[in-house]
């Protein structure tokens, strides 16, 4: 065995649906009723943690604030659409955005535009316009890097002209089951491990999986931590880990574990911790939770 490892023996790790965890996401986006057709002020200095309860510095980590309008979706339908990543571009009838400079934690609807084209808030922010949702993101690409969400409800009877967005922790609740999955066996001693997910068909919420959505892979190693601990503290998957290795998947359905690296650039060398979790994320999906997550069993 040692000889095989020394010779760089490669082994394939084939992922399957039964190896995936299950997740139930429940999003409860805070709602703010405001005056309609008005230049409502928005502040986010209270945003000290994001949707996944991760600490954030609102003054520097909010790069883009967007207002999206869904003319024919209720707030509940938008929440469900985000949870299961089913919203389409056609569901939205427009968005405006503002990119605040570092240090700023306040702006207003009137400061937003569509890629440089000004939008008349008094015409577009109306009581009968549908569902309006604010998105606070790190990065400026639509649909990516969302840290917090809030609904605005313009009302003719409201005179509220300012909104203070609260902290994000508690907005997204997840019910996670790691104990029912079938751990994915891997050879403990090998020169390399080529992981392939070509046979995975469903995501963690039981929906049909588009393989190309799995564009980011994270592997975490734990000592003295059980799967039950991770279920209970799911948003802290990374902070509980001894080491975390990452890889971007540009195309295809394979990743070589020895090519995954930590944030410090250290490559994965082998299995020696108590527990290993391999998680696949979709950077363009509205729900930030992993689409596939399995426990590796060396």
Which residues, numbered 255-294, are part of the site for other proteins (CB under 8 A)?
284, 286
- Identify the CA nearest to 55 among candidates 142, 166, 131, 169: 169
Segment near other proteins (CB under 8 A), from 49-57, 208-216, 257-265, 266-274?
208-216
**Residue 71 or 185 with smaller CB distance to other proteins:** 71
Nearer to other proteins, 51 or 214 (CB): 214
Residue indicated by tokens 């707030």: 75
CB-wise, 111 or 190, nearer to other proteins? 111
CA distance 41 to 164: 9
- Sheet with 117-118: list strands edge to edge: 31-35, 146-155, 131-137, 64-70, 94-98, 113-114, 117-118
Position 208 contacts other proteins (CB under 8 A): no
Q: Which is nearer to other proteins, 5 or 119 (CB)?
A: 119
Site map (CB under 8 A) of other proteins, residues 36-55, x = contact = --------------------
Ramachandran assignment for 8, one of left (phi > 0), alpha (psi -120 to 50 degrees), beta (any other): left
Asked if 122 interacts with other proteins (CB under 8 A), we say no
Query: One symbol per residue from 83 to 112: x for binding other proteins (CB under 8 A), - otherwise; what is it?
Result: --x-xxxxxxxx------------------
The gap from C-alpha 256 to its chain's centroid, in whole angstroms, comes to 23
C-beta separation of 184 from 295 below 8 A: yes
Minimum distance, C-beta of residue 141 to other proteins, in the bound complex (Å): 6
Kindly report the number of other CB atoms within 10 A of residue 243's CB atom.
16
Query: Binder to other proteins among 60, 144, 158, 297 (CB under 8 A)?
Result: 144
> Quick one: which of 7, 180, 250, 265 contacts other proteins (CB under 8 A)?
250
Q: Which stretch binds other proteins (CB under 8 A): 17-25, 231-239, 251-259, 263-271?
A: 251-259
Query: Least distance to other proteins from the beta carbon of 249, Å?
Result: 6
Q: Is 50 left (phi over 0), alpha (psi -120 to 50) or beta?
A: beta
Question: Is residue 142 within the footprint of other proteins (CB under 8 A)?
Answer: yes
Q: What is the secondary structure of 195-207 as a DSSP string?
A: EE-TT--B-TTSP
- Tell me the window of 1-9, 65-73, 183-191, 258-266 that interacts with other proteins (CB under 8 A): 65-73
- The number of CA neighbours under 13 Å toward the Cβ of 47 is 33
CA-based end-to-end distance of the chain = 14
Least distance in angstroms from the C-beta of 186 to other proteins:
23
Q: Which residues bind other proteins (CB under 8 A)?
A: 69, 71-72, 85, 87-94, 113-118, 124, 129, 141-144, 210, 212-215, 249-253, 284, 286
């Amino acid at each position: 065995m040692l000889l095989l490892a020394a010779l760089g023996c490669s082994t394939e790790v084939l992922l399957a649906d039964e190896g995936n965890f299950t997740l139930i996401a429940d999003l409860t986006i805070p709602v703010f009723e405001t005056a309609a057709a008005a230049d409502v002020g928005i502040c986010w200095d209270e945003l000290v943690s994001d949707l996944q309860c991760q600490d954030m510095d609102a003054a520097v980590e909010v790069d883009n604030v967007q207002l999206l309008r869904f003319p024919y979706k209720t707030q509940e339908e938008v929440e469900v659409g985000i949870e299961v990543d089913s919203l389409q571009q056609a569901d939205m009838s427009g968005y405006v955005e503002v990119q605040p400079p570092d240090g700023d934690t306040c702006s207003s609807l009137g400061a937003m535009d569509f890629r440089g084209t000004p939008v008349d808030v008094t015409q577009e922010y109306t009581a009968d316009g549908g569902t309006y949702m604010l998105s606070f993101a790190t990065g400026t690409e639509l649909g990516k890097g969302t840290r917090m969400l809030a609904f605005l409800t313009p009302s003719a009877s409201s005179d509220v002209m300012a909104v203070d967005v609260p902290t994000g922790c508690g907005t997204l609740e997840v019910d996670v089951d790691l104990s029912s999955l079938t751990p994915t066996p891997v050879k403990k001693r090998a020169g390399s491990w080529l992981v392939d997910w070509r046979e995975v068909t469903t995501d963690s919420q039981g929906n049909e999986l588009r393989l190309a959505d799995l564009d980011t892979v994270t592997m975490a190693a734990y000592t003295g931590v059980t799967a039950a601990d991770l279920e209970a503290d799911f948003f802290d998957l990374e902070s509980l880990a001894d080491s975390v290795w990452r890889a971007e998947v540009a195309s295809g359905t394979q990743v070589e574990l020895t090519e995954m690296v930590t944030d410090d650039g250290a490559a994965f060398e082998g299995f020696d911790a108590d527990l290993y979790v391999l998680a696949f994320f979709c950077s363009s999906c509205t729900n930030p939770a992993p689409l596939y997550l399995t426990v590796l069993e060396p």
